[in-house]
Amino acid sequence: MDALLERLRAGLPAEALITDPDVTASYAHDMASFCDAGTPAVVVLPRSVEEVQHVMRTATALRVPVVPQGARTGLSGAANASDGCIVLSLVKMDRILEISPVDRIAVVEPGVVNATLSRAVGELGLYYPPDPSSWEMCTIGGNIGTASGGLCCVKYGVTAEYVLGLEVVLADGRLLNTGRRTAKGVAGYDLTRLFVGSEGSLGIVVKAVLALRPRPPQQLALAAEFPSAAAACDAVCRIMERGHTPSLLELMDRTTVRAVNAMASMGLPESTEALLLCAFDTPDPAADLAAVGELCKASGATEVVPADDVAESELLLQARRSALPALEAVKSATMIDDVCVPRSRLGAMIEGTAAIAEKFGLTIGVCAHAGDGNTHPVVCFDHTDPDESRRARASFDEIMALGLELGGTITGEHGVGVLKKEWLARELGEVGLELQRGIKSAFDPLGLLNPGKLF
Ligand SMILES: Cc1cc2nc3c(=O)[nH]c(=O)nc-3n(C[C@H](O)[C@H](O)[C@H](O)COP(=O)(O)OP(=O)(O)OC[C@H]3O[C@@H](n4cnc5c(N)ncnc54)[C@H](O)[C@@H]3O)c2cc1C
C-alpha cells in the first residue's frame, strides 16, 4: 500500500488522491443491489490524459487492479470496487473540447455529464440523442462503458451509433486512438465499437468523438390508457408495423403508474392497467399522434389523451423518467431487470413477468422502452427479510431466462457487470465466451482492468 501511494504521488497532484477510508468507501459501488463490492486502496481523480497514463503504468508495475468509474449510476455493479484496487474516477475530466456544426461532431472528455453535453450542443442547433433517464447525473464515459440507451432510442438508436472515435489509455499506459472524426471510415477492425459496452474491461476512455444530428423540432406526446398490458403491446406492434417513427414509445404498468403518483403526485390515471406514452418530433406531430391514437383505440385503449403543447408533453416525459426512482420507493430495495426482446414478443414478456411476480409473491413493476422491446421489470422487496430477498433474486433470474426463451437478450442497455455475469455465459455460448475472453486478454493480459466483471 505504501509503495502504491508513493508511486502514484510521484505523478499526481495531492488533491487527485483520496485515501481516507470513510471517503473511499463511498466510491465502492454503483446503484445496483445484490452486487459484491470490495474496499478500494485509493481513489484517484485525474484531470489529464498524462495523469491517467501515470496511474495505469503504476498499476501495471505493481500489479494492482483498476476500476474506472463515471458517476456510479450504473445498475449492474459494473463500477463496483474490488479489494485493494485503484478506483479511477474520471469525473474531473469534464471538458467539452470542441463542437463542430460543420462536421457535426463533439469532442469530449469522459466526465462530461450527458445533459450538459445535450444542452451545449442544443444551443448550436445540434442534438446528441442518447438520453438515459439518468442523463442529469451520468457521464459520457459511463454511457460508453455501458453502451447506454434511453427514451429516444426507438427513433435515434443507442450510444454505440454515436461514438465515432476514442482515445483510450491501455492497461500498460500506452495511448490508443481508434476510429475517426469523419462522416465515414472503414479502416481496419472497428475497435471503437468494441470499446462501447466493454464496461471498463479493455481500457480507460479519456476522449470521445461523438456524432451529432441537427436538432429536431420539439416533440409532442400522447398518453393512452389500456385495460391490459397485452392490449398496450398490441398497440406498439401496430404502430411499428404501420411504419410510424415515434421519437418515444414507452410503457408503464399499473404498479409503476401508482408508484410515480405516490412519489411525485403526477395525476396519472391509477385505474389503468398499462399506460403507453408516444411522441413525435416530425414536421406535423399532431397528425402523427392522431393516427397513432386511432391505432391505440383499435387495440382497445379506453382513453387517448394528446398533450396540448410541448410543456405538457415534457410533463409526461418527466413522469416516465421518474419511474425507476418511484419504484425504488415502493419497498426498501429493488433489483432492476433489463431484458430486451423482439418487440413482437413484448406482450409475452410482460405477461410472463406478471406470472413470475405471482409465483414468487412479489411486487414487480414494469416500465419499458416499449418501441425497442426493452423491459425494465423492477423487483421490489424488503432487503431485511431473508426469504423475500431470496425470492427477489430467484424472480430476477427467471425474468432473464424468460427473455432468452423469447429470443431476447439479458441486457438491452444496463450491462452485465457483476449482476448478470453467469447469465452472459448462457447468452454467448461456449464459443462466443471463449473468443470474448481472448479479446479481453489481448487488451489486458494481466487482468488488471475492472476484474470480476462481465465473465
Ligand atoms: C434513475 C436511473 C435511471 C437510469 N436510466 C437509464 C436509461 O434510461 N438507460 C440506460 O442505458 N441506463 C440507465 N441507467 C443506468 C446508468 O445511468 C447508465 O448505465 C449510465 O451509462 C452509467 O453512467 P455513469 O457515468 O454513472 O457510469 P458508471 O456507473 O460509473 O460506470 C459504468 C461502467 O462504465 C465504466 N466506465 C465509466 N467511465 C469509464 C471510462 N472513462 N473509461 C472506461 N470505462 C468507464 C465503468 O467501469 C462501468 O463498467 C439509469 C440509472 C439510474 C440510477
pLDDT in tens, 27-85: 999 999 889 999 999 999 999 999 999 999 999 999 999 999 999 999 999 999 999 99
Distance CA 399, CA 78 (A): 20
Query: Coil, helix or strand for 157?
Result: coil
C-alpha angle 366/367/373, rounded to 5°?
100
CB–CB of 28/71 below 8 Å? no
Give the Å distance between the CA of 414 and the centre of ligand 1. 7
Distances (CA, A) of 315 to 256, 264, 265, 309, 319: 16, 11, 12, 10, 6
Query: Coil, helix or strand for 240?
Result: helix
Which is nearest to 45 in space by CA: 23, 75, 74, 22?
A: 23
- Report the Cα 5 to chain-centroid distance in Å: 33
pLDDT in tens, 96-152: 999 999 999 999 999 999 999 999 999 999 999 999 989 999 999 999 999 999 899
Q: Name which residue sits closest to atom 6 of ligand 1, judged by CA.
A: 132
Distance CA 33, CA 16 (A): 29
Give the Å distance between the CA of 79 and the centre of ligand 1. 8
List the grid coordinates of 265. 403526485
Q: What is the mean pLDDT of residues 278-304?
A: 97
Residue 17 has pLDDT above 80, yes or no: yes
pLDDT in tens, 421-451: 999 999 999 999 999 999 999 999 999 999 9
**Side-chain half-sphere CA neighbours of 170 within 13 A:** 14
Query: Coil, helix or strand for 347?
Result: helix
Q: What's this model's pTM, rounded to 2 decimal places?
A: 0.95
For β-strands 86-89 and 96-100, DSSP reports them as: unpaired
Q: What DSSP assignment string belongs to 253-268?
A: EHHHHHHHHHHH----
* Confidence class for position 266, pLDDT limits 50, 70, 90: confident
Give the number of other CB atoms < 10 A from CB of residue 356.
22
Helix (H) or strand (E) holding 111: none
76 lines ligand 1 (CB under 6 A): no
74 lines ligand 1 (CB under 6 A): yes
List the grid coordinates of 3. 509503495
Residue 1 has pLDDT above 80, yes or no: no
| Pocket-testing residue among 87, 118, 138, ligand 1, by greatest number of atoms within 8 A of Cβ | 138
* pLDDT score recorded for residue 33: 84
Give the Å distance between the CA of 159 and the centre of ligand 1. 11
Which is nearest to 114 in space by CA: 159, 155, 153, 69?
A: 159
Helix (H) or strand (E) holding 336: strand 333-336
Phi, psi (deg, nearest 5) at residue 413: -160, -15
For β-strands 86-89 and 66-69, DSSP reports them as: parallel
30 lines ligand 1 (CB under 6 A): yes
142 lines ligand 1 (CB under 6 A): yes
List the grid coordinates of 256. 409503476
205 lines ligand 1 (CB under 6 A): yes
